[in-house]
Amino acid sequence: MVDTSKFYINGEWVDPVERRSIDVINPATEQPYVTIAVGSAADVDKAVAAAKRAFPAFSQTTRAQRLKWLRALLDAYNDRYDEIAEAVSREMGAPLSFSKNAQAWAGRAHLEAAITALESFVFFEDRGNTRVVKEAIGVAGLITPWNWPLNQIVTKVAPALAAGCTMVLKPSEIAPISGLVFAEAVHAIGLPKGVFNLVNGDGPSVGQVIAGHPDVDVVSFTGSTRAGIIVAKTAADTVKRVSQELGGKSPNIILPDADLQNAVSKGVNAVMGNSGQSCDAPTRMLVPADRHEEALRIAKETAEKQTVGDPWAADTTMGPVVSEIQFNKIQALIQKGIDEGATLVTGGVGRPANLNRGYYVRPTVFGGVKQTMAIAREEIFGPVLSILPYDTIEEAVSIANDTVYGLAAYVQTKDIELARSVASQLRAGTVSLNYPSWNTFAPFGGFKQSGNGREYAEFGISEFLETKGIVGYEVA
């Protein structure tokens, strides 16, 4: 078990400046399962100072050196793979099989993608007498969420290392243990002191301090739109770059020619995965009005096949949501959907009938949803699907775009040319056609209030680089 009483600063595990701690709650039991130290501005100062000292030398390392460290980190990560997956299950409630096959796997996949991207990344080009170079931007502040902890830690740490940046990581205080295991894996590869630092803590005491710190050059934040706005405002005083991956309310347009059984069932399962706690989940399903009732039947059958329960049970497909706060928010929005007149197809308020403890939510489907309803507009972040009927493709596109968010969108049809046409009209950072396989080399990020900047592979590396023009550079 990792030492949860310390932070990782300047290549060492150190005590916090002030002794403060919080309990990490196991959402399956509603009981604390470990206590962690939480930091303060003084801890952030120490970590940033270490990163700043390490930056001049680390930014001058070669591609080959950084590739060596990243490959070593991949090996160290794989050595701790099962431990990472088990930590995710305990801290945020994901079924153990899902933690191994999706949560921990995502971290591995992004490390592999970063390595591949770095191998061929173009760091300079010549334009006449000018050499245009991409250089490490400086000290990076990395603030990550609880819902996909390893996915988001690795999509920030790996490209920052690839770019030659040094960094301070603040994992979510709700799900911090997998981050500490990851930090031990980083320690094992022998990075120079100060390149990677970790300070646990909450948003106001650590996250905002990182965002506003004058010696932090770039902040990469993943979390809610509300928190992202606070980070951006805090960072503005020091005019640092801020990249953000925020909330979503992603539409899933099922076009009239689609295989309805396949399209609806896969769409439902995509929402229910990770207990609905994915920012890009296709939570608004748009179906042709004349097939609305058929879609509700398929959605009901699919949702009711979910097995909700103990994350460590072999047959569990959906665990609890992460916290009491999240549970209560979801319950309130389900009730609001009922109160506003949506058709409750399955699920509803309260826990599943066989569970009386833990933050378990009933897989819920609403039909006949109107775009003005709260369940169609607000990010619920739970296993709740809203099905909206439409009459024309033009209306479907209009409904899809009628949101402050723009992280992801989905299109289902047998006509690939039509799919491409609809995709070109959708205001979203990622548009997926006919449920493709996940691609760690595609750019990931949002339009509108879903954020700015892009992650994954070379797109992620670019976020940690600054452009310099050396005019009069004589090319041999």
∠ CA(91), CA(96), CA(100), 5° rounding? 100
> Where do you find CATH 3.40.309.10 in the chain?
251-439
Superfamily of the domain at 251-439: Aldehyde Dehydrogenase; Chain A, domain 2 (3.40.309.10)
Q: Count H helices, E strands: the chain?
A: 16, 20
Predicted confidence at residue 52, as pLDDT, reads 98
**151/144 Cα distance (integer angstroms):** 9
Predicted confidence at residue 361, as pLDDT, reads 98
Exposed e or buried b per residue across 348-373, where buried means at least 16 C-beta atoms within 10 angstroms of its C-beta: bbebbeebeebbbbbbbbbbbbebeb
Predicted confidence at residue 327, as pLDDT, reads 98
Q: Is 245 a catalytic residue?
A: yes
Predicted confidence at residue 474, as pLDDT, reads 81
* CA-based nearest residue to 365, from 456, 304, 314: 304
Catalytic residue chosen out of the listed positions 165, 184, 279, 455: 279
> Where do you find CATH 3.40.605.10 in the chain?
7-246+450-471
Kind plus residue range of the DSSP H or E element containing 388: strand 384-390
Predicted confidence at residue 476, as pLDDT, reads 60
Kind plus residue range of the DSSP H or E element containing 304: none
Q: Across the 476 residues of the chain, what is the mean pLDDT of every consecutive 10-residue run? A: 94 97 97 97 98 98 98 98 98 98 98 98 96 98 98 98 98 98 98 98 97 98 96 97 97 98 98 98 98 98 98 97 98 98 98 96 98 98 98 98 98 98 98 97 98 97 98 82
Q: What is the dihedral of CA 110, 114, 117, 119, to 10 degrees?
A: -140
**Six-digit token pair at 292?**
């609305």
Per DSSP, the three-state class of 371 is: coil
CB 107 within 8 A of CB 80: no
What is the gyration radius of the CA atoms in the chain, in angstroms? Answer: 23
What CATH number belongs to 7-246+450-471?
A: 3.40.605.10
Q: List beta partners, residue 103.
A: none
**89/150 Cα distance (integer angstroms):** 12
Predicted confidence at residue 475, as pLDDT, reads 62
Catalytic residue chosen out of the listed positions 86, 184, 245, 379: 245
**173/209 Cα distance (integer angstroms):** 15
